[in-house]
Structure 1
Amino acid sequence: MDRLVNTVRPYAWGSTTAIPELLGTEPTGEPQAELWMGAHPGAPSRLDRGSGLVPLNDVIDADPPAELGKAAIDRFGPRLPFLFKILAAGAPLSLQVHPDLAQAKAGFEDEEARGIPIDAPHRNYKDANHKPEMLCALVPFDGLCGFRKPSEAADLLEGLGVDGLKPYVDILRAQPEGEALREVLAAVLTADRDAIAETVTEATEAAERLSEEGGRFADAYAAYAKAAHSFPGDPGVIAAMLLNYVRLQPGEALYLGAGVPHAYLGGLGVELMANSDNVLRCGLTPKHVDVPELLRIVRFEPSEPAVLRPEASEDGEEVYDTPIDEFRLSRYVLAPGGAPRTLDDRTPQILLCTAGTVHLNSKDGSELDLARGESAYVPAGEQVEASGDGTLFRATVVA
């Protein structure tokens, strides 16, 4: 096993304090949005096996069977199929959706055939993979996830008392659910920019006022108003009002499958995803929004946010159950004097300490202590025991 040296990504929406506080380092004054743990070529973790720091993707490429094991290679090929992150949102992220595997493959091949540069701002598909993901809160975490029922969305919009929203309310009440959601989202994203900006401003002011008055949608109105202040006049603010607002408590998680519109609004959490960078944006962003392609990918199905809580097994591992094999998230809550927990060694894994101190002991005799925010890579076939006084998250695959 190897301690990882990880890269922090300074995206503009990042918190200036949350990741430094977790790591016990001084804030730089700049946003620190994501700490990446994995073998993604954009910012691979590094480790030292005696000859200096080497990127994890190079270590894996040099000997995939030794690092990943036969079972993982047979399922996912000679690569680490997941990316693990600490995510610190100080401002809302873009409202977005991810394609399924077939859509990603077709979209990538089409844009390649048309010669669109991979780094072009209007490119939708950076790779041929899907991007299911999971966010597990370390502190109370606010987000938007999935469509509200159209009747409920109509009540919420109508409650704002803004004339410019009345046509959307009428559609949501009159059309079948899927058609209503599609028609309203398309209308919002293709509306005249000046006209929709005025409606967004009026809706923001009303949402702020109503959030302070309390009532059925008070928390949601507050969340939408916060998003609007980060992106004044953005039609994505109205699109966001079609989605469920959810607040995760520490230890709770959201799984986000293909076609489900979502946005993270604020908080600190661990995020685990398939190793992809395919995002189609719906709003709350200055970046490219491809409305026709977006409408093809989005699943216009109302749904309640499926908040996940870990299920404990007999060996002390608490597993977040998801319908995906490229990644598997679990945690161990360790107490002083407790029996060491033996971790399954059949697949490669990344271990992250988020509280206290965790001691790792390998069957080959090596030992490693992880403090808050520190992580380790364990190749397939290396059995490790975990003990100490802290919380250990484990990212691996199902194989």
Structure 2
Amino acid sequence: MHGLVGALRSYAWGSRTALAQLCGRPVPSAHPEAELWFGAHPADPARVQIDGRDESLLELVDSDPERELGPVAGEFGGRLPFLLKILAAEEPLSLQAHPSIEQARAGFARENHTGVAIDSPMRNYRDENHKPELVVALDRFEALAGFRDPRRTVQLLRALDVPELSQYAELLAAQPDSAGLRTLFTTWIALPQASLSTLLPKVLDGCVRYLSEARPGGTGKEFVPEIRTALELAEAYPGDAGVLAALLLNRITLEPGEGLFLDAGNLHAYLRGVGVEIMANSDNVLRGGLTPKHVDVPELLRVLDFEPLDFPTVTPEQVSDTVFRYHTPAPEFALSRVELAADAAPVPVVKAGPVIALATAGRVKLTQGPQELIVESGHAAWISAADDSIHAEAIDGPAQLFCAAVGED
């Protein structure tokens, strides 16, 4: 096992405080810090600390996949199949979805054939992989995720009491299913700018009116979080059709330790919060709005799943006094959270790799026989398939550790 240093990614929606505080660096940071990548993705691999030097995790795995990955090397083409991140959102991320593996392979080949550079900002597909993902909240985490039951969306649209919305509410009421959602979403996301500039201010006026009536002593409190979110998005992205689309999605709040799983085709936007995120080893994103980045509505429509999604939250299974496991259907990854009490005896956390063990609070000592490794908050350890029987204990107070591994059968 070796120390692992994450690759820091700076995006405009990131935080100047969250990642710096978690990693024990000065606050505020010079730039918004959005993500720490702990993985072997070619775009930004983490660095393994070996004998006083740093080596790319991607290069380490490529040099000996059998040793580093073990039996799963053949199953995943000699590549680490998951990417682990810490995500810190101060502002909303883009309205987006991820492709299935078949869609990713076809899109990657198509963009290669048409000559779109792999690092072009106009590129949709940067690899051939799908991107199911799980985020676990480290603090209160807000998100839009999946299309809401259309019957409830009809109630929301009617509650706004905006005459210009009536035709859309009745359209969905007449077909309250995935086909109706597809029709309404496609209509809104593709509205000509002149039509959007007329409709959106009316909708926002309705939102303000709704919230004023929802004050103490008022009525209509059912959709307050959804309506408030629409107003916040409109302030951040004025004139963006994604504000209308957000009214169709589930509004979700995760408390620390709760998870959210999103499979291919699920439309979503993370709004704010800090979380541990694990996904298949991919950077494929199809955006539909709420971003200055490349938006490709036709390609987004090609991959979207319009089936209404029940709240896709994941409650972990407590498998011991200290270990909580998050179950998902993704074969590429499995995630566990380990809560380490101060002065408690070491607990087994890894039988065999490949595993990335990430400290998100406190300091953790990992041991393998006589070997010891101290993992500070915001840092991680790379545990290869050649390593086994790893134990963890907190030092200098309680600690928290996330262990990312290949998915279970």
Residue among 327, 343, 346 paired with 1:340: 346
Match of 2:218 in 1: none
Match of 2:387 in 1: 382
String of CA shifts for 1:106-134, please: whole Å, max 9, x gaps. 22122222223223333322211100001
Question: In structure 2, what is the Cα distance between the partners aligned to 1:216 and 1:176?
Answer: 20
Match of 2:42 in 1: 41
Please say if 1:291 is aligned against 2:305: no
Match of 1:137 in 2: 137
Match of 1:398 in 2: 407
Match of 2:217 in 1: none
Whether the 8 Å CA contact 1:211–1:222 is kept in 2: the answer is yes
Q: Which moved more, 1:154-163 or 1:276-285?
A: 154-163
Any idea what SS the aligned residue of 1:142 has?
A: strand
Q: Which moved more, 1:81-90 or 1:340-349?
A: 340-349
Question: In structure 2, what is the Cα distance between the partners aligned to 1:259 and 1:239?
Answer: 15
Any idea what SS the aligned residue of 1:223 has?
A: helix
Deviation at 1:212, TM superposition (A): 5.2
AA aligned opposite 2:402: F
Any idea what SS the aligned residue of 2:301 has?
A: helix
Whether the 8 Å CA contact 1:22–1:372 is kept in 2: the answer is yes
Please say if 1:59 is aligned against 2:56: no
Whether the 8 Å CA contact 1:315–1:341 is kept in 2: the answer is no
Please say if 1:330 is aligned against 2:333: no
Question: In structure 2, what is the Cα distance between the partners aligned to 1:193 and 1:374?
Answer: 46
Deviation at 1:340, TM superposition (A): 1.7
- Structure 1, unpaired ranges of 5+: none
Match of 2:4 in 1: 4
Question: In structure 1, what is the Cα distance between the partners aligned to 2:149 and 2:104?
Answer: 28
CA RMSD across the alignment: 1.7
Question: In structure 2, what is the Cα distance between the partners aligned to 1:85 and 1:328?
Answer: 14
Any idea what SS the aligned residue of 2:345 has?
A: coil
Residues 1-399 of structure 1 aligned to structure 2 (within 5 Å): 1-26=1-26, 27-50=28-51, 52-69=53-70, 71-211=71-211, 213-214=213-214, 215-314=221-320, 316-363=322-369, 365-383=370-388, 384-388=390-394, 389-398=398-407
Deviation at 1:209, TM superposition (A): 4.5
Question: In structure 2, what is the Cα distance between the partners aligned to 1:191 and 1:220?
Answer: 22
Whether the 8 Å CA contact 1:147–1:302 is kept in 2: the answer is yes
AA aligned opposite 2:130: H
Question: In structure 2, what is the Cα distance between the partners aligned to 1:212 and 1:22?
Answer: 38
Any idea what SS the aligned residue of 2:21 has?
A: helix
Cα 1:46–1:230 change in 2 (3 A) is: same
Deviation at 1:326, TM superposition (A): 0.5
Question: In structure 2, what is the Cα distance between the partners aligned to 1:144 and 1:357?
Answer: 33
Whether the 8 Å CA contact 1:239–1:282 is kept in 2: the answer is no
Question: In structure 2, what is the Cα distance between the partners aligned to 1:227 and 1:127?
Answer: 30
Question: In structure 2, what is the Cα distance between the partners aligned to 1:77 and 1:345?
Answer: 23
Name the TM-score, length of structure 1 as normaliser: 0.95
Deviation at 1:325, TM superposition (A): 1.3
Whether the 8 Å CA contact 1:66–1:380 is kept in 2: the answer is yes
Cα 1:162–1:396 change in 2 (3 A) is: same
Q: Which moved more, 1:280-289 or 1:182-191?
A: 280-289
Any idea what SS the aligned residue of 1:30 has?
A: coil
- Structure 2, unpaired ranges of 5+: 215-220
String of CA shifts for 1:54-97, please: whole Å, max 9, x gaps. 1111111111111111x211321211111111100000000111
Whether the 8 Å CA contact 2:355–2:384 is kept in 1: the answer is yes
Whether the 8 Å CA contact 1:352–1:373 is kept in 2: the answer is yes
Any idea what SS the aligned residue of 2:244 has?
A: helix
Number of equivalent positions: 397
Deviation at 1:337, TM superposition (A): 3.4
Whether the 8 Å CA contact 1:197–1:235 is kept in 2: the answer is no
Whether the 8 Å CA contact 1:131–1:276 is kept in 2: the answer is yes
Deviation at 1:308, TM superposition (A): 1.0
- Determine what percentage of the aligned residue pairs are the same residue: 45
Question: In structure 2, what is the Cα distance between the partners aligned to 1:292 and 1:7?
Answer: 32
Name the TM-score, length of structure 2 as normaliser: 0.93
Question: In structure 2, what is the Cα distance between the partners aligned to 1:218 and 1:230?
Answer: 18
Question: In structure 2, what is the Cα distance between the partners aligned to 1:343 and 1:21?
Answer: 26
String of CA shifts for 1:313-332, please: whole Å, max 9, x gaps. 14742110000111111011
Deviation at 1:163, TM superposition (A): 3.3
Question: In structure 1, what is the Cα distance between the partners aligned to 2:23 and 2:227?
Answer: 33
Cα 1:333–1:213 change in 2 (3 A) is: farther
Deviation at 1:28, TM superposition (A): 2.1
